[in-house]
Amino acid sequence: MSRSNIRYWLEWRPSIFGESPKTELPKPTKPTLEGSKTVPMPTEAELDAIDRAMELLNNCGARILPGPVLGIPSGRLTAEIRAAVATLGMADLPLVSLAGEVAA
């Protein structure tokens, strides 16, 4: 490669930078995290409750289905299962029996 070709590539700038002055940064096109809410870290007790709820739902065979819909095997929808669903913040999901009947 000749010296003139090297100089060309070292000085080359993409066209997006050629349109704006060097002192002005380009405007962001996507939303940034500035001004977003921070979520507090859960406490140990909350993490333990989440673990217990996940274990209960996994052991009973609960599944998150497309929709989203929460599928519970027929005959296993108990007050404990409903409490576990609420603990995980999924109480607003429709509950459906995996046998096909609506459980809610």
What does the pLDDT look like over 20-30, one tens digit per residue? 555 666 666 66
- The pLDDT, as a whole number, for residue 86 is 92
Question: What pLDDT shows up at residue 83?
Answer: 93
DSSP codes of every residue in 87-103:
HTT-TTSPEEETTSSB-
Question: What average pLDDT does the segment 67-78 reach?
Answer: 87
pLDDT at 92 over 70: yes
C-alpha 16/C-alpha 57 separation (Å) is 52
The first and second tokens of residue 99, run together, are: 């046998």
Q: Is 16 domain-assigned? A: no
Residue 89 falls inside a structural domain: yes
5 φ, ψ (degrees, to nearest 5):
-65, -40
In a domain, 63, yes or no: yes
Range of the domain at 83: 32-97
Q: Give the separation between CA 102 and CA 15, rounded to whole angstroms.
A: 58
Count structural domains, the chain. 1
53 assigned to some structural domain: yes
